[in-house]
């Protein structure tokens, strides 16, 4: 095994010196959380569409989760954050100081405010033609008509074409058919019991859909210093809690719940 790893490393080095970094860059980007990365076959795929659904009242957690993933795949490149006006009114505006505290450079982020979901998708389609972007985040509350399978396919194709990663951040929405590479469901998680004060941002994440691998359920912590996700440092025992499906999730969600139970890793 060690031999294989070495060989891989030397191959990468060769590629890099040959000026083919882009090939290496195309590789999946590890989130940092070991078992999630295993399920993702090494990490989050670049140049693909990923969906993040926020559980009720966990919108900010989902925001941070999406921001973290976008920062992971972007490196130093810019992130275009498209948000609908209603989202800012209802859940609050993305705050620069909040980003700083997450270890994400606010100067890296461009914020596009749109009045409607249609405009948000238009902006996203345009942005996905710009290869200089690292990632885009499309924050859309509710379930507007435009977010159908056709749009999803169009975004997926556009992502692949210029290798820009897109995150569709959905608030108060029910899961819909899509061609996304992965779909996550994010709940806020409580700080660990043994901590007197709260620690780093912590999420209960369910990978409810994964095109090229298995699904799973993990508690992840965002490490603001290193800019990666990882297992909560205080131990995992604290985080067994029954997740109640959000009202209105319906039978499809119930089926997902079942699937999640089967894959629960904890």
Partner 1 sequence: MAKEKNALRLSALDRKATALGLSVGQPLANARAMLPELKVMAANDGADHKLLERIADWCDRFTPFVALEPPRVLLLDVTGAAHLFGGERALLASILATLRKQGFAVRGALAGTAMAARACARYRDGMVVAPGAEMETTAPLPIEALFLDPVTTHAFRRAGLKTVGQVAHRGRRELTARFGSAMVFTLETALGKTEKPISPRNPVPAYSAERNFPEPVATEEIIRTTLVSLAETLAEALEKRGEGVRRLEAAFFRADGAVTRIAVETGSPTREPAIIERLFREKLDALADPLDPGFGFDLIRLSASRTQMCETALADFNADLNAEREIRFLVDRLSARFGAHRVLAFQPNDTHIPEAAGLAIPAQELRQTKSTWEVRRKEEAPRRPLRLLAKPEEIEAIATVPAGPPRRFHWRRVQHDVVRAEGPERIAMEWWRHLVPQPTRDYFRVEDTNGHRFWLYRDGIYVREVGIPRWYLHGTFA
Q: Under the rule (CB under 8 A), what is the footprint of partner 1?
A: 57-61, 63-65, 67, 77-78, 80, 88-89, 91-103, 105-107, 109-114, 119, 122-123, 126-127, 130-133, 187-191, 196-204, 222, 224-225
Euclidean distance between CA atoms 222 and 231, whole angstroms: 9
Of 5 and 76, the one with the shorter C-beta distance to partner 1 is 76
Of 6 and 90, the one with the shorter C-beta distance to partner 1 is 90
Euclidean distance between CA atoms 126 and 140, whole angstroms: 17
Q: How far is the CB of 239 from partner 1 (least distance, A)?
A: 10
CB-based contacts of 149, cutoff 8 Å, min separation 6? 176, 177, 178, 179
Of 147 and 220, the one with the shorter C-beta distance to partner 1 is 220
Rg (CA), the chain: 18
Of 96 and 160, the one with the shorter C-beta distance to partner 1 is 96
Q: How far is the CB of 252 from partner 1 (least distance, A)?
A: 24
Q: How far is the CB of 148 from partner 1 (least distance, A)?
A: 22
Q: How far is the CB of 225 from partner 1 (least distance, A)?
A: 6
Give whole-number Cα distances, 250 to 196, 236, 246, in Å: 38, 30, 9
Euclidean distance between CA atoms 17 and 19, whole angstroms: 5
Euclidean distance between CA atoms 233 and 253, whole angstroms: 30
């Amino acid at each position: 095994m060690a031999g294989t790893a070495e060989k891989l490393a030397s191959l990468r080095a060769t590629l890099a010196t040959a000026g083919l970094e882009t090939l290496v860059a195309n590789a999946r980007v590890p989130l940092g959380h070991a078992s999630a990365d295993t399920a993702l076959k090494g990490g989050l795929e670049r140049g693909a569409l990923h969906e993040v659904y926020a559980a009720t009242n966990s919108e900010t957690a989902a925001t941070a989760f999406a921001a973290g993933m976008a920062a992971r795949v972007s490196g130093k490149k810019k992130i275009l954050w498209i948000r609908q006006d209603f989202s800012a009114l209802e859940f609050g505006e993305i705050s620069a100081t909040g980003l700083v505290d997450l270890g994400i450079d606010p100067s890296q982020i461009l914020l596009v405010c749109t009045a409607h979901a249609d405009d948000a998708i238009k902006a996203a389609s345009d942005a996905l033609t710009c290869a200089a972007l690292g990632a885009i985040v499309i924050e859309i509350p509710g379930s507007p008509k435009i977010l159908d399978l056709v749009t999803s396919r169009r975004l997926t194709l556009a992502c692949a074409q210029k290798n820009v990663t897109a995150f569709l951040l959905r608030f108060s929405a029910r899961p819909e058919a899509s061609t996304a590479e992965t779909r996550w469901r994010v709940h806020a998680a409580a700080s660990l019991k043994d901590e007197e004060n709260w620690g780093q941002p912590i999420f209960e994440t369910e990978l409810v859909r994964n095109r090229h691998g298995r699904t799973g359920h993990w508690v992840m912590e965002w490490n603001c210093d290193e800019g990666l996700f990882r297992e909560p440092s205080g131990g995992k025992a604290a985080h067994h809690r029954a997740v109640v499906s959000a009202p209105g999730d319906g039978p499809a969600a119930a089926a997902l719940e079942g699937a999640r139970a089967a894959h629960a890793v904890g």
